[in-house]
Amino acid sequence: MRKIRAIFFDLDNTLSDFMRMKEEACRAAVRAMIAAGLDMTQEKAYVILMKTYFAVGLESDKAFSEFLKSVGQFDHKILAAAINDYLKTKNDFMKPYPNVKLVLRKLRKKGVILNIVTEAPKTKAFQRLLTMGIERYFESVLGYEDTGREKQTGLPLMLALSRLKREVPGIVNSEILMVGDSIERDLMPAKKLGLQTALSKYGQRTEETGAADYELTDIKDLINFV
């Protein structure tokens, strides 16, 4: 394996537990809606709300409105209660995985260039990075708006590569590592471009077929080979 000179990190479920944050924030929002007048059990409301999020998009700002309309109980007071408790809980759970800050700091000391490649909207990606206190470790953040395409198309990584090579002339694809929790979205496009790959097993929610060059049970495993 070539020496790794740069790393592209996925953000959600790689640097932080995005899905736990989403689930806990939605449960808090459900409790707030019921307290504000929603006539429904917590579990039923939670299941329908999560289905709504997956239908309209996990990053959507319209999920609560669509949920309340779908159950025939739209009310501005209930909506406001949901948003307030959702945002509070979201920030409470927006924390990096254990050892993330330690590893990022060590990688930067080694001179490794760190970038983010995510499908999250760019502003929301920066919100997460700033809330977690890790934005300063990254040279750049590539978000959904930069290409308008999902990562499995390969276009986000191709753009990230072209930008990196303008900043670091002479770097080759095999000196770059892609770290992510999804083989399909993160690692397969990287392999096709000749990048090294590392699977963040600790962030996986579902098993996938395929293999990575490295598997991480903890992000600190990166230090063993970078």
125 and 164 both lie in a single domain: yes
142 and 106 both lie in a single domain: yes
Token digits for 117? 């490649």
Domain total for the chain? 2
41 and 126 both lie in a single domain: no
Report yes or no: 173 and 190 within 8 Å, Cβ to Cβ: no
Parent domain of 34:
19-93
Distances from the Cα of 207 to the Cαs of 65, 130, 184, 200, in angstroms?
A: 33, 30, 11, 12
Number of CB atoms found within 10 A of residue 224's CB:
8
Domain finish residue from 78, 93, 108: 93
123 and 152 both lie in a single domain: yes
Question: Structure pTM?
Answer: 0.92
- Sequential pLDDT tens for the chain (226 residues): 579 999 999 999 999 999 999 999 999 999 999 999 999 999 999 999 999 999 999 889 999 999 999 999 999 999 999 999 999 999 999 999 999 999 999 999 999 999 999 999 999 999 999 999 999 999 999 999 999 999 999 999 999 999 999 999 999 999 999 999 999 999 999 999 999 999 999 999 888 888 899 999 999 999 998 8
- Report the Cα 53 to chain-centroid distance in Å: 16
80 and 118 both lie in a single domain: no
110 and 70 both lie in a single domain: no
Between strands 140-142 and 214-216, the pairing is unpaired
Query: Is 1 contained in some domain?
Result: no
pLDDT for position 1: 59
138 and 201 both lie in a single domain: yes
56 and 121 both lie in a single domain: no
CATH (domain of 81): 1.10.150.520
Total residue count of the chain as it appears in this document: 226
CATH (domain of 201): 3.40.50.1000
66 and 30 both lie in a single domain: yes
165 and 66 both lie in a single domain: no
Query: Is 81 contained in some domain?
Result: yes
pLDDT for position 153: 95
163 and 85 both lie in a single domain: no
